[in-house]
Chains A and B, each alone.
Chain A
Amino acid sequence: SQQGEEDPQALSIQEGENATMNCSYKTSINNLQWYRQNSGRGLVHLILIRSNEREKHSGRLRVTLDTSKKSSSLLITASRAADTASYFCATDEGDNNDMRFGAGTRLTVKP
C-alpha cells in the first residue's frame, strides 16, 4: 500500500538547475529511503537515511530528514537531462520493517 506523500507530484526544470523534492510521512520510522525509477524500469535505490541522521550526501544528491516534522527532502544539484525520472521516498517502519512508498515525484529535466 502507498503511504507518505511526495510533493510536488511533477516538477519540470532546465538542465543545470537544482531540483528539490519533498516527502512527508505519518508514523515513526527506522529509516527513509529515496529511489529513482526510469520509465519502464525497476526502482533504483539512491540513498538511505537513518532516523538518527539529519543529512546525507551522495554525489549530486543531498537528503535531509526532519523527524520532528516527519519530512524529508531530496535535492539534486546541477541537474542533467538523464536525471529525468520518477523519484519515490519509502519509509521503513516498525518492528517488522514494513515499507511504505509514496506516489512519487515526476521530474523532467529539459536540455
Chain B
Amino acid sequence: NAGVMQNPRHLVRRRGQEARLRCSPMKGHSHVYWYRQLPEEGLKFMVYLQKENIIDESGMPKERFSAEFPKEGPSILRIQQVVRGDSAAYFCASSRKSQFNEQFFGPGTRLTVL
C-alpha cells in the first residue's frame, strides 16, 4: 500500500509564474490536507478537502492560492503569479473517515521562487 505521493519533490519557478503541486492520497483515503512550512517554522494548515469539496480553507491566502481535489486524480495546490515569499515546503496529508482522522503525510514539495 503506497503512501501519500507528492510531486514534484522540488519545483523552481520565477516570479510571476504559476506553481502546481500534486498530491495523491493513500489508497482508500478521501480526505486531503495541505500545509505550508517556512524554514525553521512549524507546519501551517492551509486547506482541508474531501473529494470535490473544500471543507476548510481558513488557512489559505485570499489571493493567488487555490486547491482542488477532483473525483478522479490527485489533489492540486495551485499558486498563481508566485512571489519570493511563496518559497517554502508544501506538505500534503491524507486520511480516511474515522473518529480520529489520522493523517499520513507525503514527503513534501519544496518550492523555490527565484
Residues of A within 8 A of B (CB): 1-2, 30-31, 33, 35, 37, 39-45, 48, 86, 90, 96-99, 101, 103-104, 106
The interface bits of chain B over 90-114 (1 if a CB of A lies within 8 angstroms of the residue's CB, else 0) are 0101000001111111011010000
B39 within 8 A of A: yes
Could you tell me if B101 and A40 are in contact, using CB atoms closer than 8 angstroms?
yes
Hey, which chain A residues are within 8 Å of B43, CB to CB? 33, 35, 43, 45, 90, 99
Shortest beta-carbon distance from B56 to chain A in Å: 7
Q: Work out how many contacts link A and B, with CB atoms closer than 8 A.
A: 63
Hey, which chain B residues are within 8 Å of A44, CB to CB? 45
Residues of B within 8 A of A (CB): 3, 33, 35, 37, 39-46, 48, 56, 59, 89, 91, 93, 99-105, 107-108, 110
Could you tell me if A2 and B110 are in contact, using CB atoms closer than 8 angstroms?
no
4 smallest CB-CB distances across A and B, nearest first, come from A45-B42, A42-B45, A33-B42, A101-B105
Hey, which chain B residues are within 8 Å of A33, CB to CB? 42-43
